[in-house]
Structure 1
Amino acid sequence: MTKLIAFGDSIFAGWNGKSQDSNDQRIPELIGKAMGWEITNTAISGAKFDDSDKGFPSMAKTHSAAGYDYALVCYGVNDWCFPSGSIDYPLRKAKEGIETLKGQNPSIKILLELPTEDFRNGSTTLFDFNSQGWTQNQLDDGLIGVANQEGIDYYDWRPDPLITYDNASELLGDGNTGVHPTPATSQKIADRLVMKFKEMMSDNQPTTPPQPTNPTQPTTPIDPDKPVAPVAQIKIDRLDDMFHVGDNVDKGAKATLTKINEVYQKLSQVFGSDPQQAGQALVSPGNPLERPLRTYVLKTFQLLQEEVNQLVRLCNDQYLVDPDTGDKTPTLSLLRPTKLKLDSHYIDTVNYNYYLIEQTINKLIDYINQYV
């Protein structure tokens, strides 16, 4: 039987904000029930990515991963709500714990679940600062960086959030001032993670592309002597300081629109869809931190949202959907960077929009490249 070991805090331990859930209502056990797996749940309330006895590195050392097929790791809400220092500290400890698991079992497959949103300390968004001056969004980005460095899978809630400030009163036992899911919400979290584990399992199985019995011919024939190259994914340079906002947004917009046109061209080439063309980037006013720059950034992200969503709708119409679930790609809703101030909140907002754009376009590219 497949075996999974889970590491986490009160969310995995089954505290729902008002009372303790039974073991069979806890997220790791719900995953085990759905997958038919044997589960070891080591979660402890209040645990963090830290050096305490119940912190992730210590728990990884005292609960060996040897003999397990999968490990599920989810901490972070307590690291943000009760920070021990700079954001570098929990990221170092996350890396340390992951490397411990890999050292115990080099073949184990690890899924790092990013924390669901925490509304304690008066927070209403992922961009609110804690007492040490860093945000939940920054922690999420940092944990993805650790996952990429360690070569492990991760699950990010931000592109399709389950828990938001607007629905927290319904989905969290302690409401929109808390963080702990109700039993029904724990089931929804488990359902999402089950889908991710199934994806991880399929990625590790060799597959033979299905051969259609009656292939349809595109309206524009493809030259059989000229191979069709896959579309490369998009990576947008992040904004790192406020004194280059205009240049950065101009570069990001042009990169996005160029990539959208490349995808349109590939759709026409492979599927015979009607030629499409994205709009032109707006003219940047430069970098002075004045009203014209604020207006330019707002209008640019509005343009990019419209252009990305136009591409999404076309791909959905072409039935370029999730191959596992059949789900269509949801349209994009970008944040509005309405304030132009010299602070990291504005930079985070711009960079989070870039992240959302990348996630959406790259998902569509993955779907298209299956046919190339």
Structure 2
Amino acid sequence: MKVSNDQILLGKLRFQLAVTSAMLGTLELDQILYIILSGITHGEGLGFNRAFLFLSEDSAQELKAYTAVGPVNAEEAHRIWESMEEKRLDLDRLLADYEASAKDARAHALTQCLAGFSVPLSAATIAIREGDSGVPLQALIARAAATRQAFFFNRVEAQFEPPLSGGGTLMVFRKMAVVPLLQKDAVIGVILADNTFNGRDVKPEDMDGMTTLANLAAIAIDRARTHQRLKEMAAVDGLSGVCNRRHYELRLQQEISRAQRNGRPLSLLLFDIDRFKTINDSAGHEVGDRVLKDLAGILRARVRTEDLVARYGGDEFVVLLTGGATAEEALRVAEKLRQEVAERTLGDRPEGSVTVSVGVAFGLSEGLDGSELFRRADRALYQAKQEGRNCVRSAS
């Protein structure tokens, strides 16, 4: 049956309304991104097989694979299609199904396939023409970021080869649409959608829908980040100026959930000022307070914006590395911070008179437990104290 232009327009408006309404109902970034990518892949939306979102985290100068929606392979594609048919999961119900999706390990498999992907925002672009094969996925994302233009290819085959350490398999992308996310002329992300499994060509009208969603996504992401910053401002420790313990505990659970979805590890660094009581007793509590402020300032200035710095209590501070650092990288970060503290003047005390001991705990995404991660870091910190202070020790 032929569909009239009015029916097509009505369908587009209904789709845009469903996605916009769902996004307005939440300020949680991960849920907003789920809504956007689900709109791209659902049959009542744009109907792509898969959708991927690459995001620059605030002031970062690179795009990383953040989340994805869709099947890993053709068999999984068929299973998802049958499940949606059986559940009669229309677009509205799918968009409201975020909580169930967040708890389904299979829903995160595609995101985990891209673990380790990143591309600098300043990356040079290469020429890509219809008919090319073996094009690095990074080249497509870099092109969208550099040109700030949407584009599609129907006869290009792209691929992503995960780092050897990740143990992943080669991913292939065909029939692709790529759209940048812009906020005040700055690139904050890129969406890629493909039809690798059904082979449907991307059409110009698909790009209209992708561009509309990209505009909505950029606004929603900025809104969610502003909300998160306001929450963090309200969760600041009054003395040190970094996050308080309550916010750390809330954020830790969020980061564990995100790590499990993305297949990334987390590292926790626990700092304790050596002989802090002696400083308070000999120089006074005002000097002690300035030491705490100065230490917090060093930690905050020397880690990424996306990492978490919090005052856990007393003279203990926590740094949560959320970017997927390896155990070796976490140790290097801890050692650099320890060394900088030892070389600085804190609280107007003589250089080198204030030092810290550091315990480091590393946890893979599978089976991550926040309490256990902290206990391991605490045991490593105790070891550092026992072995002379002013050193870094790692949990076994």
TM norm structure 1: 0.26
As a proportion of its length, which structure holds more strand?
A: 2
TM norm structure 2: 0.25
| Structure whose CA Rg is larger | 2
